[in-house]
Structure 1
Amino acid sequence: HFEIPAQRVKDVLGVKGRNVKALKAQSGIQKINIMDRSDPATVTVTGTQASIEACRLMVLSIAAGDQSVIGNVVEHLEIDQRIVSKFIGPKGQVISQIKDRSGAYLEVRETGGGQPPRIIMTGPPDCVARARELIAQFLVENGAAAAPGRGADPYAQYYAQAKLQEAQIHAQLQEAQLQAQLQEAQLQQSQAQAQATAQLHAQLQ
């Protein structure tokens, strides 16, 4: 097992567990479990050694703010502070509805420093595009406008530290994926050899 910041667990899970499904499909692991009752959260992975390492590197990349390893994109829009509560809605109903309709993960982040809050949209490109359309429609209906945000990110320092390791993580990820493919090829070769040996024995008898 390994650890990630508890506040990044939702990024790893994705909307309706989509990121976890992508992690399993791309790394080849059998099972992944995240315990977020404490900070840092504990991630436990089951599978071959190569698939576990591939999954670990993917999860660390996502926790560092890079979801490109599973094909996701991240975009953001600035939003007027006065409309944030309306955008979230009673008990989060409005933002949840946009999440469900678009399939993208949405989060409103306060940037500080006098900068307006930002809506963070994460997911597959088509889902993020749909979320952007729905948000723009909501803002127009509520007399507000949105523009691509360029405010300071409260996680900027965390991201900067993570980016220093990004190239190394990607290199290790590629190596782990190659090892997993090699193990699979060796397994198939062993199975083929065993089958050929069995056929030879049958012919000799």
Structure 2
Amino acid sequence: MGALIAGILLWSIVHLVKSVAPGLRTSIRGKIGAGPHQGLVALLIVSALALMIYGWRTAEYEFVYDPPVWGRHLNMLLMVFSIFLFGAAQGKSRIKQWIRHPMLTGMLVWAVGHLLANGDSRSVVLFGGLGLWALISIFTVSRNEGAWQKPSETASIGREMLSIVIALVLYAVLFGAHRYFTGVALIGSQ
């Protein structure tokens, strides 16, 4: 469980530096240069992901709570929205008229959905930790950006429909591959 916690902490710290301690980020960037700084951040993020994956696969599965019976099915539906929000964050989208931070909101939806579906210790640590990071990030980034300026440009209806189709295709791919990258089958025996 230590590697999982370390991975979540590393991920959170690296991502929060920009919004919580912008002076530190600027100082590091000034000392080592923009390119090396980006490389360092990328290396730390990849290391965090590796720690989370290793930690997830090696952590003991311990009961914490009974998720609701409907939690698993609601999670499957929420994942479609989560994937759509991740995509909406990448360019013009009408969703940005209602949601200020679609990617972070998508991460929060992903975390909450998985907490509704899983009641084991490693799930609480992983999804609870990353959900908390996303929630803190929404507030700290919003604070730094000031008043919300909704984007004046939105995507066309065709582009929005394409985004929905892409989200559904990605959902299907992730649904099918879930057992291979998490070790947890979504259909059949767990």
Q: TM-score, normalised by structure 1?
A: 0.24
Indicate the structure with greater helix content: 2
Q: Which has the larger radius of gyration?
A: 1
Indicate the structure with greater strand content: 1
Q: TM-score, normalised by structure 2?
A: 0.25
